[in-house]
Amino acid sequence: MASKTKRHLVIPDTQVKPGYDLSHLKWAGRAIEDYRPDTIVHLGDHWDMPSLSSYDKPGSRSKEGSRYRDDIDAGNEGMEILTEPFKGIKGYNPDMIFLTGNPENRIERAIEDDPVRLEGVIGYDDFELCGFRRYDFLEVLQLDGIVYSHYFQAAGTGRAIAGSIDNRLNKIGQSFIQGHQQGMNYGTRVLPTGKIYHGLVAGSFYRHDEAYMGQGNGHWRGLVVLNEVEDGNYDIMPLSISYLEKKYGG
Ligand SMILES: [Fe+2]
């Protein structure tokens, strides 16, 4: 009997900005070429948009347009590097999903803040998605029994659900995958019925250190492959960035 199981490949936050090394994106593309996942999910925070970072603070104004364009171009170049190794492979047409993260969402916030000047001038249309379908910031996506979102919010308060995997599984109520938070945190819960819920937080697929993280830069970085995905259950196979470098970096 043919198997119904799928393979997902998860790309955590890539945080692309001008002038940063993007070779790991090529390694990711090579891994996709090798592993041929049915579904590729990029968890967001790809266009890091430092030119609009002032929009994180209420009441601040935008920076000049040339830096905006540089940020867009850097992310677009990253998308091209990522998809180049597997695009055009005959008979391979993965479902490619991109979840909008909070840095990308700065574009929407900038427009809301200054619609007269920015409406129709900047926008999500500037992203070259290279075959990915974009979902809006915090849109929740159901895929083979797993819910995906950039992060999850608590009902009622809208606050980001945080803490242990067990706590998150309690609040989310089923297998979930999110990015947004550095490193990798994974756990399962087995119900008396034999059903298994998996929780995965994976938020870093980049090589640079973030200045604001200081000693926190030692976190895990990599891709995550999910084998045998069916009805929320799967076998997890992390591919660390150092493993990818060994395999594809030569
Ligand atoms: Fe984020």
Q: What is the pTM of this model?
A: 0.93
Q: Within 13 A of 166's CA, how many CA atoms are on the CB side? A: 2
The CA distance from 20 to 32, in Å, is 22
Instruction: Tell me, in angstroms, the distance from the centre of ligand 1 to residue 191's CA.
Output: 31
Q: Check if the beta carbon of residue 12 is closer than 8 Å to that of residue 205.
A: yes
Instruction: Tell me, in angstroms, the distance from the centre of ligand 1 to residue 194's CA.
Output: 33
Instruction: Tell me, in angstroms, the distance from the centre of ligand 1 to residue 1's CA.
Output: 41
Location of structure tokens 């937080």:
201
Instruction: Tell me, in angstroms, the distance from the centre of ligand 1 to residue 203's CA.
Output: 8
- Which residues 6+ apart lie within 8 Å of 196 measured at CB? 188, 189, 190, 232, 233
Q: Give pairs for 47-50: CB < 8 Å, separation 24+.
A: 47/16, 47/71, 47/72, 47/74, 47/75, 47/103, 47/104, 47/127, 48/15, 48/16, 48/17, 48/74, 48/75, 48/103, 49/103, 49/104, 49/106, 49/107, 50/17
Q: Assign residue 92 a region: left if phi > 0, alpha if psi is -120 to 50, beta otherwise?
A: beta
Instruction: Tell me, in angstroms, the distance from the centre of ligand 1 to residue 181's CA.
Output: 7
Instruction: Tell me, in angstroms, the distance from the centre of ligand 1 to residue 4's CA.
Output: 32
Instruction: Tell me, in angstroms, the distance from the centre of ligand 1 to residue 41's CA.
Output: 15
Looking at residue 62, what is its pLDDT? 45
Instruction: Tell me, in angstroms, the distance from the centre of ligand 1 to residue 34's CA.
Output: 28
Instruction: Tell me, in angstroms, the distance from the centre of ligand 1 to residue 202's CA.
Output: 11
The CA distance from 151 to 101, in Å, is 9
- For the chain, domains (ranges, CATH) are 6-248 (3.60.21)
Instruction: Tell me, in angstroms, the distance from the centre of ligand 1 to residue 173's CA.
Output: 22
Q: Which amino acid is at 125?
A: D
Residue numbers of the chain with a pLDDT score lower than 70: 1-3, 54-66
Instruction: Tell me, in angstroms, the distance from the centre of ligand 1 to residue 55's CA.
Output: 14
* CA atoms 28, 222, 136, 127: torsion sign: negative
* Digit-coded pLDDT (tens) for 76-111: 999 999 999 999 999 999 999 999 999 999 999 999
Instruction: Tell me, in angstroms, the distance from the centre of ligand 1 to residue 103's CA.
Output: 7
Looking at residue 216, what is its pLDDT? 73
Instruction: Tell me, in angstroms, the distance from the centre of ligand 1 to residue 84's CA.
Output: 25
